[in-house]
């Protein structure tokens, strides 16, 4: 067998052997004691969202006078980090927890970037269509306008401690605004800090 053919056989075998040395594991997301990473992971998003909801609820900002639930619209959540983050990862858990609290309900018909669920408006285009029973089509004046708006920003600050170690700081900043008055009725910030090797990447 030629040296070239031996290399072709050897390289795939080495790759398979290396993969076999590191078996895949399932993560217990409710009791994860795995090593921390310099970037943001799901544990950081869970911490930031849980702290934000707990702060909102304890502040009384989402206690509607006379009872009932506030209607919340999601405004812009800006990612000002070096990472490609889907900010919905943070907002979705906040929405779920607020909905479960019985204090807030979220509208998907309007947001800072347009309707989250476009079907609410598209379904209204069925009015006067002969193909649809008009008594089943959403009528005018049925949508509920939002009373509150949630906006925020995720910031990152990297600091070189020495030749071997660095520090990454992440700031989750959120504001809850009364749309009627334009006043922020609640603001919160969660800071997550990490120290690690300069060889570790945080983006």
How is residue 70 written in tokens?
Answer: 């506030």
Report the largest interatomic distance among the alpha carbons of the chain, rounded to a whole angstrom: 86
| Higher-pLDDT residue of 115, 170 | 170
Which H/E stretch holds residue 183?
Answer: strand 183-197
Proportion of the chain above pLDDT 70, given as a percent: 87
**Measured between alpha carbons, how far is residue 178 from residues 146, 184, 193 in Å?**
9, 6, 31
Q: Does the residue 167 lie in any domain?
A: yes
pLDDT of residue 55: 97
**Measured between alpha carbons, how far is residue 23 from residues 11, 17, 41, 129 in Å?**
20, 11, 21, 58
- CATH of residue 167's domain is 3.40.50.10610
Rounded-to-10 torsion of CA 123, 125, 131, 134: 80
pLDDT of residue 149: 97
**Measured between alpha carbons, how far is residue 87 from residues 4, 18, 42 in Å?**
49, 35, 12
pLDDT at 191 over 90: yes
Give the C-alpha separation, 136 to 25, whole Å: 50
Mean pLDDT of 165-192: 96
pLDDT of residue 32: 73
pLDDT of residue 155: 95
Q: Give the pLDDT band (50/70/90) at residue 156.
A: very high
Which strands, in side-by-side order, build the sheet including 183-197?
104-111, 70-80, 148-160, 165-178, 183-197
> Which among 124, 116, 173, 130 is positioned nearest to 150, based on CA atoms?
173
Q: Does the residue 18 lie in any domain?
A: no
Q: In the chain, how many domains are there?
A: 1
Q: Which of 19-28, 75-84, 131-140, 163-172 has the lowest mean pLDDT?
A: 19-28
pLDDT at 19 over 90: no
- Contact assessment for residue 72 and residue 80, using Cβ atoms and an 8 Å cutoff: no
Q: Does the residue 178 lie in any domain?
A: yes
In terms of residue numbers, what domain contains 167?
Answer: 36-61+69-197
pLDDT at 179 over 90: yes
Q: Does the residue 12 lie in any domain?
A: no
Q: Does the residue 6 lie in any domain?
A: no
Which pLDDT tens digit goes with each residue over 90-140?
899 999 999 999 999 999 998 888 888 888 888 888 998 999 999 999 889
Q: Does the residue 106 lie in any domain?
A: yes
pLDDT of residue 2: 55
Number of Cβ atoms within 10 Å of the Cβ of 182: 8
* Per-chain mean pLDDT for the chain: 86
Report pTM. Answer: 0.79
């Amino acid at each position: 067998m030629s040296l070239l053919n031996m290399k072709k056989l050897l390289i795939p075998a080495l790759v398979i052997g290396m993969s076999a040395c590191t078996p895949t594991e399932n993560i217990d997301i409710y009791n994860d004691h795995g090593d921390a990473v310099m970037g943001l992971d799901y544990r950081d998003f869970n911490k930031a969202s849980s702290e934000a909801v707990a702060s909102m609820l304890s502040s009384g900002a989402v206690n509607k006078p006379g009872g009932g639930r506030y209607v919340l619209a999601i405004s812009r959540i800006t990612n000002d980090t070096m990472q490609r983050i889907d900010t919905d990862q943070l907002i979705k858990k906040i929405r779920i927890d607020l909905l479960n609290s019985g204090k807030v309900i979220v509208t998907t018909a309007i947001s800072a970037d347009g309707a989250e669920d476009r079907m609410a408006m598209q379904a209204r285009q069925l009015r006067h269509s002969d193909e649809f029973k008009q008594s089943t089509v959403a009528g005018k004046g049925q949508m509920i306008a939002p009373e509150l708006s949630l906006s925020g920003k995720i910031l990152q600050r990297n600091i070189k401690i020495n030749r071997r170690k660095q520090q990454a700081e992440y700031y989750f900043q959120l504001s809850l605004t009364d749309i009627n008055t334009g006043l922020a009725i609640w603001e919160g910030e969660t800071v997550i800090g990490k120290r690690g090797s300069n060889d570790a990447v945080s983006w």
